[in-house]
Amino acid sequence: MSNQTYLAVGVDAGSWRTRCVISLLEGKHLRYLGHGEAVSTGWQKGRITDQSVLSMQIQQAVRQAERMAGVSVEAVVLGVGGGTVHGGNSHGIYEFGKPREVEPEDLTYAMELASRVRLEYDRMVLQIMPQDFIVDGRAGYRKPKRMTCSRLEANVHIVTTSVQEHQCLVEAVHDAHLAVEETVLEPMAASYAAILPEDRSRGAALVDIGLHSTDLVIYDGDAVALAATLPVAGDHFTRDIAWLLKVSYDDAERLKQEYGCALLGLTGDTSFIEVPSPESRGPREVRRRELIEILEARAEELFEYVRTELAKASMEQGLLEGVVLSGGGTNLTGMCDMAERVLNCPARIGLPVGIDGWPIEIDSAGWTTAAGLSMYSARLKTRRDFKRRAPGLVGMLR
């Protein structure tokens, strides 16, 4: 790769926080420059309700990052997630007619054939992820270049999303006077920042727990085995507390943050906590155990959904590197313990790695997706640089 430098900018427009990370790609090294954050208010239940407000928040986060980095941003890589995202496997067959060597262009064409699926109304392809190839009936090849065969089959995982939601998100960025380099599945971007390539190749899953959606991506041999959205997110934990303890939503969120835990036995379950009451009523207390039991039930349900998706991908016993948790929902104490109990595999918090000079103040799972989007932006620049020098190999890199 050349010694040219590029800005690598990622924007994670979430329903709780909008975050931006600016990095500098210098040769093969990625160095942190700045970050910005804005409170998100243009969302409701994971869907965009006010595009103009979202645009202002994106602009606020990017401008804050620009001031810190001392640079001007023109384009960003944008994360996409939420309940409108769906994943599914597809299969394509490429008949050569007579035996010959497999060229990189053949692999690309086989994947294109596999990606030709009929979509429902208001659906679009977000990403196509190659899994493996079958060469003359022999399965399990990752990159069968230069092999001789007469029939090449490709297995891919196709991630689709809502055209309307995708368009609203992209237009919000355009309204903030920024271009969109590419839109990327958020848990996939988070996995770039939190899981090393060699760990993905041994089998790993990333669970990105946001306010209104939880996104999952499962890796098998560095290929995406499955991408899915789960129906339980951080908002459900807070609403359970508000409903069962008869408090306001804001008070429920405060109780969750201050006294919450996802598993009984990890904290002082027998202590009492003061529960807010209306001014017309006196103060009241409940056992902390009651609060934890509420959160434990919801956390167990969340990871039961993860286990169901692992079974769909035949990966119940295949996660040698375990489960990595990212997103703001990981702030609840005991989430890793609950994940290990339900999924019977190691679990850890996914913190950003791979960007030099990453500051301590944002070294948290909430910033993992934004960091991964910045890394993905750098990856795009690397590919473009490689394309200028070796155009014959671009098809396989894509």
Domain 86-161 and domain 197-349 have a common topology: no
| Token pair 């990370």 in the structure block, residue | 21
Given a cut of 70, whether residue 183 has pLDDT beyond it is: yes
Average pLDDT over residues 13-35: 93
- Alpha-carbon span 100 to 98, nearest angstrom: 6
Residue 394's pLDDT is what? 32
Structure tokens given for 102 = 């497999």
Q: Give the count of beta carbons closer than 10 Å to the beta carbon of residue 262.
A: 26
Q: What residues have CB less than 8 Å from 49, skipping those under 6 apart?
A: 42, 43
Structure tokens given for 44 = 């409701």
Specify whether the CB–CB gap between 126 and 169 falls below 8 A: no
Q: What residues have CB less than 8 Å from 248, skipping those under 6 apart?
A: 242, 276
Confidence of residue 106 (pLDDT cuts 50, 70, 90): very high
- Alpha-carbon span 30 to 375, nearest angstrom: 8
DSSP string, 180-229: EEEEEEHHHHHHHHHS-HHHHHT-EEEEEE-SS-EEEEEEETTEEEEEEE
- Alpha-carbon span 269 to 290, nearest angstrom: 8
Average pLDDT over residues 7-28: 93
Average pLDDT over residues 3-32: 92
In the chain, % of residues over pLDDT 90: 74
**Among 332, 123, 367, 160, which residue's Cα sits nearest to residue 236?**
332
86-161: what CATH class? alpha beta
What one-character DSSP code corresponds to residue 271?
A: S
Regarding beta strands 5-13 and 223-230, do their DSSP bridges make them parallel or antiparallel, or are they unpaired? Answer: unpaired
Which CATH architecture fits 197-349? 2-Layer Sandwich (3.30)
- Alpha-carbon span 173 to 122, nearest angstrom: 20
Residue 390's pLDDT is what? 34
Q: Give domain limits for the chain.
A: 86-161, 197-349
DSSP string, 169-187: HHHHHHHTT-EEEEEEEHH
Phi–psi pair at 27, nearest 5 degrees: 65, -115
Q: How far is CA 304 from CA 140, 245, 301, in A?
A: 29, 25, 5
CA-based torsion, 190, 196, 200, 201: positive or negative: positive
Given a cut of 50, whether residue 396 has pLDDT beyond it is: no
Given a cut of 50, whether residue 386 has pLDDT beyond it is: no
Residue 280's pLDDT is what? 67
Residue 46's pLDDT is what? 75
Given a cut of 60, whether residue 2 has pLDDT beyond it is: no
Residues 232-274: tens digit of each pLDDT: 999 999 999 999 999 999 999 999 999 999 999 887 777 899 8
Confidence of residue 398 (pLDDT cuts 50, 70, 90): very low
Residue 385's pLDDT is what? 52
Q: Give the count of beta carbons closer than 10 Å to the beta carbon of residue 22.
A: 26
Phi–psi pair at 83, nearest 5 degrees: -70, -15
- Alpha-carbon span 252 to 275, nearest angstrom: 9
Q: Which stretch of 97-101, 247-251, 385-389 has the lowest confidence by average pLDDT?
A: 385-389
Residue type, 27: G
Residues 318-344: tens digit of each pLDDT: 899 999 999 999 999 999 999 999 999
Confidence of residue 45 (pLDDT cuts 50, 70, 90): confident
**C-alpha of 126 from chain center:** 13
**Among 137, 65, 51, 147, which residue's Cα sits nearest to residue 99?**
147
Structure tokens given for 315 = 């990966």
Confidence of residue 228 (pLDDT cuts 50, 70, 90): very high
DSSP string, 304-364: HHHHHHHHHTT-TT--TT-EEEESGGGGSTTHHHHHHHHH-S-EEE----SSBT--GGG-S
Confidence of residue 387 (pLDDT cuts 50, 70, 90): very low
User: What pTM was estimated for this model as a whole?
Assistant: 0.90
